[in-house]
Amino acid sequence: MSRSPLIARTVPTLRRAIDNLRKRKATIALVPTMGALHDGHVSLVRLAKRRASRVVVSIFVNPTQFAPTEDFGAYPRTWKSDIAKLAAEDVDMVWHPGVEAMYPEGFATRIAPEGPALAGLEDRFRPHFFGGVATVVGKLFTQCRPDFAIFGEKDFQQLRVVTQMARDLDLGVKIIGSRTVRERDGLAMSSRNVYLSPEERQIAPTLYRAMKESARRIKAGDAIASAMAGGAGLIAAAGFTLDYFEVRHAETLGPVTSRKDGPLRILVAARLGSTRLIDNIAV
């Protein structure tokens, strides 16, 4: 039988619950999310359960990481089914603050990531994004005081930015990356996939196919520029508008010119109609 998680909606309630866990010597893993949970999120929860004795999932659609032109208002909110999924996974606690609990009147402090993790990928197209993410994730860490925090590799640059922040600010949290969960046809699961029309949903897996094709060619010894141009061509031909389709060093996210430059990662962001999708794979 699944048990409903404890739900905290204010900082004092959360703090008391975390203090209780700490008194009982629990180890805590945090899974930060914006809700609209799918099997990708569930895989993060399962990894969290393997790492710690207690799992806290945060559900907060963070306004500061959305530009005014983006989809904050339309972002899917599926509270009931989210809680049912978390209960089925035996999650201990859900941290679900309102905007006024996270950013009370007079809030005036931000975390501004800089350095190599701002690699000219997501930060180039969503300049407001990582400042909003770092600020809210910094707050989630100080609120929940987890030993571990689990982030998906689907948001690969975000994983790098958060890892750097946790190290730079001595937050005492071990950041763990978790592999991308895909639909059967290769499309990375994402809360935003619900925006796709049935026709767009058929086209969407092209992103994954194009990355696989470019990776195959790089491994076969083709020049990087030509292998990447091939993949970009497939994406454009399917009807996407590309933001970027790049191969980078998998750890530093720095530029690479040859396969020998280190472990490589292909990263893509592209728009299909009004939906923006991102994805990445190892070469």
Ligand X SMILES: CC(C)(CO)[C@@H](O)C(=O)[O-]
Catalytic amino acids?
41
According to the annotation, is 182 in a ligand binding site?
A: no
By CB under 6 A, tell whether 134 contacts ligand X: no
Cβ distance 107 to 135 under 8 Å? no
By CB under 6 A, tell whether 136 contacts ligand X: yes
* Whole-number Å distance between alpha carbons of 139 and 45: 20
Amino acid identity for residue 276 in this structure: R
Residue 227's binding partner among ligand BAL, ligand X, ligand ATP, none (Cβ under 5 to 8 angstroms by kind) is: none
Helix (H) or strand (E) holding 2: none
Least distance to ligand ATP, CB of residue 274, Å: 13
Cβ distance 156 to 123 under 8 Å? no
Structure tokens at 61: 């659609």
Strand partners, 152: 178
User: What are the backbone angles phi and psi of residue 34, rounded to the nearest 5°?
Assistant: -110, 20
Of the candidate spans 30-38, 100-108, 198-206, 261-269, the one that interacts with ligand X by CB under 6 A turns out to be 30-38
Of 123, 155, 200, 246, the one binding ligand BAL by CB under 6 A: 155
According to the annotation, is 216 in a ligand binding site?
A: no
- Which residues, at least 6 apart from 272, have a Cβ–Cβ distance to it below 8 Å? 196, 200, 203, 204, 239, 240, 241
- Here's the x/- map for ligand X, 157-196, by CB under 6 A: it reads as -x--------------------------------------
Cβ-based nearer residue to ligand ATP, 129 or 245: 129
For the chain, what's the residue count?
A: 283
Q: What is the contact surface with ligand ATP in residues (CB under 6 A)? A: 33-34, 40-41, 43-44, 151-152, 154-155, 178, 180-181, 188-192
By CB under 6 A, tell whether 153 contacts ligand BAL: no
Helix (H) or strand (E) holding 278: strand 275-282
Binding site for ligand X (CB under 6 A): 32-34, 62, 65, 133, 136-137, 155, 158
Residue stretches of the annotated binding site? 34-41, 65, 152-155, 158, 181, 189-192
